[in-house]
Amino acid sequence: MPSARSFIDPFGAVRISRRLARSTAAATGDAAIAGLAAVVETELAARAVRALVECPLGDVAAHAAVRSGLVERVAGEILDAGAVERIADRALATPLPQHVADRLLADGVAEQIAERVLSGPELDRLVARVLEDPAMARVVAQVLDSRLLDESVARVLASEELWRVVEEIARSPAVTSAISQQGAGFADQVAGEVGVSSRRADAWLERAAHRMLHRPPAAATPTGGP
Amino acid sequence: MTFAAPRAPVHAQVAPAAPVEAPAAGYVGLVTRALAFAVDAAIINVVAVLSTAAVGLALSVLSLPDDLTDVLVVLGGGCYVLWSVGYFVGFWSTTGQTPGGRVFRFRVCTAALGPLRLHRAVLRFAALMLAALPLFAGLLPILVDARRRGLHDMLAGTVVVDAGGDREPVSARAP
């Protein structure tokens, strides 16, 4: 039984025209894209893009992208798609990390970082936290209770190197100077005490002499009189 | 001899124009000086004994005639006297302190608190020997003199003052 469509369009003109329009649109699109590609590759297009980016309009567009959260959305899409991981994997597979590490070490960045860490308050806070941690106290107690420490101390005491070091330290000018200063200080103290006692004896003997001679005590100081 | 305490400022009679170093405390008495002298005597005799022992050991390997030995003994005695005199005179005329005086923190100076010259140091030593001859009676004035001077101090024009503590230079004033 013939359909209604065969009565309306017995030669298929509509179908043909649709097919023709579709192919025409596709050809037009291809031509437009080819033309756009040709335009994009031209110097003129590059200048136009540069002018667009450098003009205030570029700033406005950047501000609008930031304000509207477009940047976050794009970044989220990139992260969700795993693009960052892929880029990182590819970068790590190249000599780039070694090169970066070499450059950092050569430029003294490592020293700067170490200096910053040592001089900054972060290290103190970290050390304080570690020392206050009960786990650290337990670890130290375990180490002190262990036989390993006793054996280590015994081995160190039995080693000749230790006594050589002790001998070197004992012979060092700083230590000998400190010991001699202490000895001199002690001798000075003893001499001072003996001097005080002898001066008391001076005064006592003179009082006795003055009493014997019935004379008033004579007292004079080199700075007292004219 | 009278032991009357001379109140007159003897050192002011020879007041120097330049500032002199004055001790913080006063004059030093007999006991302290005797102890310091004992320290000095110990030093002198230890050095003398060690020197004599060294020379004796060296000479023991030589067979010297008796006359020469006697000469060496006399020479050694002379050296001992010279060493003793040089010890006191040297220290008095340089630092004003013998090692004994340094231990007991006093020094010998002129009545004007100035340093002793060599001739004054020699005179003081000679006067000290003189004061010691009559059973050390020449030292007794130290007990009663206002400036604790013995006979040798009076003869040499010296005093013995404290050297310990902080000292500040002061100008001797005119009477």
Q: How far apart are CA B100 and CA B84, in angstroms?
A: 14
User: Which chain B residue shows the shortest CA-CA distance from A206?
Assistant: B143
User: Which chain A residue shows the shortest CA-CA distance from B164?
Assistant: A192
User: Which chain A residue shows the shortest CA-CA distance from B147?
Assistant: A220
Can you tell me the ipTM of this complex? 0.71
CA–CA min distance B108, chain A (Å): 12
Shortest CB distance from B173 goes to which of A202, A219, A226? A226
- In the predicted model, what is the mean pLDDT of chain B? 82
Q: Is B49 on the interface with A (CB under 8 A)?
A: no
Q: What is the bridge-based pairing of β-strands B168-170 and B20-22?
A: antiparallel
Residue B167: exposure state from Cβ atoms within 10 A (0-12, 13-18, ≥19):
middle
Q: Are B143 and A215 in contact (CB under 8 A)?
A: no
- Residues from chain A contacting residue B8 (CB–CB below 8 Å): none
Residue B146: exposure state from Cβ atoms within 10 A (0-12, 13-18, ≥19):
middle
CA–CA min distance B157, chain A (Å): 14
pTM for the whole structure: 0.50
Q: How would residue B19 be classed by pLDDT, with cut points 50, 70 and 90?
A: very low
User: Which chain A residue shows the shortest CA-CA distance from B103?
Assistant: A191
Task: Kindly determine whether residue B146 and residue A192, on different chains, have CB atoms separated by under 8 Å.
Answer: no
- Pairs of CB atoms within 8 A across A/B: 83
**H or E element, residue B66:** helix B66-94
Task: Kindly determine whether residue A226 and residue B9, on different chains, have CB atoms separated by under 8 Å.
Answer: yes
| Per-residue pLDDT reduced to its tens digit, A41-87 | 888 888 888 888 788 887 888 888 888 888 888 888 888 888 888 88
- In the predicted model, what is the mean pLDDT of chain A? 84
